[in-house]
Amino acid sequence: MKLETITVEKNMLRFCLDEAFSGPVTLREETPVVHGTPRLVAQEELAFTGGAAACARFADGHDRALSRFFCRQGGTELEGAHYVTDFAPDVPENVYPYPQPDTIKTLVCPHEEGREFGIKQSRFDVNLPAMVALEEQPDTIPYEFEGQTYYFYRDSLEKLEKNMAGYEVNTLILLNAPSKFFSHEEQALLDVCIHPKYEWGDPGAFISAFNMTTEAGQRVYGAFVSFLAERYTRADKKYGRIGGVIISNEINLQTNWGNVGEMPVKDYVEEYSVAMRLAWLCGKRHYSGFRVYVSLANNWNELHENPLRLYHGRDIIDHLGVISARDGDFPWHVAHHPYPESWLPDFWNDRRATFDFATPKITYKNMEVLEAYLAQPQLLYRGTPRRIVFSEQGFNAENGPLRDLQEKQAAAGYVLEYLKARNMKTVDMMANHSYLDNLHEFGLNLGIFRYDPDAPNHRGEAKPIAAAVKAMDTPAEEIAILFAREIISPELFDYLLHPTVLYGDPDRSSETEFG
């Protein structure tokens, strides 16, 4: 016997077993901290009838839907769901279909510039320490969450809303950077929200993992997500609309983008899965279609010098699948960054991107492998594949004698990767990372426009890729495809557009044979 589902109703939580058991079950509720000390919130006896029982949802201002539960019957702890798995249809404040645009084409720029390219959705970074204060500050908006008041900076919200305005839907990337991304560096907040193992002295640790190890860390994180979901999923789109959130950035490169120092990947995903789950629970209360995404860089199986800092994307997905199935599955999805292996635009020459599950990298060249991998039965959500957003990628062109060639290759590469993504069945976004070249992004030139310090909005000369972006999903697409096929070569272009993917690992047993 196991607990199959926990459903949130308006004022109740309903627990359902996988068999028609009738009798008493002891319910233990605790805070869902990981690698810390959970607090016992409540313990009570539930009287199950026909395999179902219910308890009050709210207690002293606390929504028990955010807790972790354990059930014991006859001295045996039941397996199955430990968290809420379902919401009754009348629970979310806003109920409407996910607002998927009719194009997956995405740029990261204000809509007034994006609409020139036919862009209907975008994604923006939101940094918790730039948005939230523990102590009241001038020109902040108070927000009550789980018995505590938090304060949201109005100027940060207005900047975000200006960027989001006009798009049909936006996806937010939730960051936890203590000193970058416009952090206010409020020490009281950082003491709570930054992971206790974050390496403060490491200049390459740009972002901390969210702190799931303490109740206070989870509470400020929950307030952060809940506020954004409540404000930006309204049916009237008063402040702009979001459809979901990406949790942190490229966590398989956690030493830089979700830092906790050295930690085994399984332990990292145990914490991260709770951050994903809490975001889904907080968001789903406000919008029925709220989505949460795991963020992955392109390294899928690649060997690393220190596996306690750099992980395989494949391992992260596998652990997420096991953990979510163990504790009560929920609809998590995948945000992937299929940059070329060398950052240079000729991804069709990538050598570490193969068309099988053992590929070292998933780049533009073999992006179909991700969809194939997620289609495995053990990774489906109730029989349905997880959704994919390619939320960050781009093409670098080096300053030097090959710049013009590389920029033409970038334009051709954009056409091919866009067609490949559009052919996939579960892709909802193809976002070119940079609208303008960023002078402070590791020396890379990833924009579709050059940076001009004297131009309005710093938008300088258009690169060839700008015309390619504008052409896709328009009648001009045919000309762009002809151009791309000539640059890449017709045979290779056509092959990569419809590659054959091996649904598994290749048999390498004969590779050492000789004689």
pLDDT band at 511 (very low <50, low <70, confident <90, very high): confident
- According to DSSP, residue 210 is labeled B
Are residues 123 and 73 part of one domain? Answer: no
Are residues 134 and 209 part of one domain? Answer: yes
Are residues 159 and 50 part of one domain? Answer: no
Are residues 423 and 276 part of one domain? Answer: yes
**97 inside domain:** no
Residues whose CB is less than 8 angstroms from the CB of residue 515 and which lie 6 or more positions away in sequence, other chains included: none
CATH number at residue 45: 2.60.40
pLDDT band at 78 (very low <50, low <70, confident <90, very high): very high
Q: Give the pLDDT of residue 63.
A: 98
Q: Give the pLDDT of residue 500.
A: 98
**371 inside domain:** yes
Q: pLDDT tens digits for 315-359? A: 999 999 999 999 999 999 999 999 999 999 999 999 999 999 999
- Which residues make beta-bridge pairs with 245? 172, 292
Lowest mean pLDDT among 205-214, 275-284, 322-331, 439-448: 439-448
Q: pLDDT tens digits for 238-275? A: 999 999 999 999 999 999 999 999 999 999 999 999 99
**508 inside domain:** no
Q: Give the pLDDT of residue 515.
A: 76
Please give the angle made by the CA atoms of 462, 465 and 470, to the nearest 5 degrees. 90
Per cent of the chain over pLDDT 90 is: 95
Are residues 175 and 78 part of one domain? Answer: no
d(CA 145, CA 130): 18
Burial of 425 (0-12, 13-18, 19+ CB in 10 A): exposed
pLDDT band at 509 (very low <50, low <70, confident <90, very high): confident
pLDDT band at 73 (very low <50, low <70, confident <90, very high): very high
Torsion of CA 9, 10, 12, 17, to 10 degrees: 0
Are residues 422 and 395 part of one domain? Answer: yes
Residues whose CB is less than 8 angstroms from the CB of residue 483 and which lie 6 or more positions away in sequence, other chains included: 411, 412, 415, 468
Are residues 183 and 72 part of one domain? Answer: no
pLDDT band at 415 (very low <50, low <70, confident <90, very high): very high
Residue 97 confidence (pLDDT) above 80: yes
**95 inside domain:** no
Longest dimension (CA), the chain: 78
**195 inside domain:** yes
Helix residue spans in 119-214 (DSSP H): 128-131, 154-164, 187-193
**186 inside domain:** yes
- The DSSP string of 102-140 is S--EEESS-HHHHGGGT--EEEEEEEHHHHEESS--TTE
Task: Take residue 94 and report the two structure tokens written for it.
Answer: 């806003």
pLDDT band at 457 (very low <50, low <70, confident <90, very high): confident
Are residues 267 and 173 part of one domain? Answer: yes
Residue 512 confidence (pLDDT) above 80: no
Question: Shortest CA distance to 371 belongs to which of 340, 334, 417, 322?
Answer: 334
For residue 424, which phi and psi values (nearest 5 degrees)? -75, 150
Q: Which domain range does residue 31 map to?
A: 2-87
Q: Give the pLDDT of residue 459.
A: 93
CATH number at residue 331: 3.20.20.80
If one counts the domains in the chain, the total is 2
Q: Give the pLDDT of residue 508.
A: 85
Residues whose CB is less than 8 angstroms from the CB of residue 472 and which lie 6 or more positions away in sequence, other chains included: 103, 105, 118, 414, 415, 418, 480
pLDDT band at 402 (very low <50, low <70, confident <90, very high): very high
Q: Give the pLDDT of residue 262.
A: 98
Q: What is the mean pLDDT of residues 226-242?
A: 98
Lowest mean pLDDT among 110-114, 246-250, 285-289: 110-114
The H helix count followed by the E strand count for the chain is: 13, 24
Question: Shortest CA distance to 70 belongs to which of 57, 79, 61?
Answer: 79
Question: Shortest CA distance to 416 belongs to which of 456, 371, 363?
Answer: 363
Q: Give the pLDDT of residue 433.
A: 87
Q: Quickly count: other Cβ atoms within 10 Å of residue 61's Cβ.
A: 10
**Phi-psi group of 146: left, alpha or beta (phi > 0 → left; psi -120 to 50 → alpha; rest → beta):** left
- Are the CB atoms for 38 and 67 separated by under 8 Å? no
- Which residues make beta-bridge pairs with 27? 44, 71
- Are the CB atoms for 69 and 38 separated by under 8 Å? no
Look over the chain and give the mean of its residue pLDDT values, rounded to a whole number: 97
Task: Take residue 451 and report the two structure tokens written for it.
Answer: 């940076």
Are residues 195 and 48 part of one domain? Answer: no
Q: Which amino acid is at 357?
A: F
d(CA 491, CA 110): 38
Q: What is the mean pLDDT of residues 137-155?
A: 98
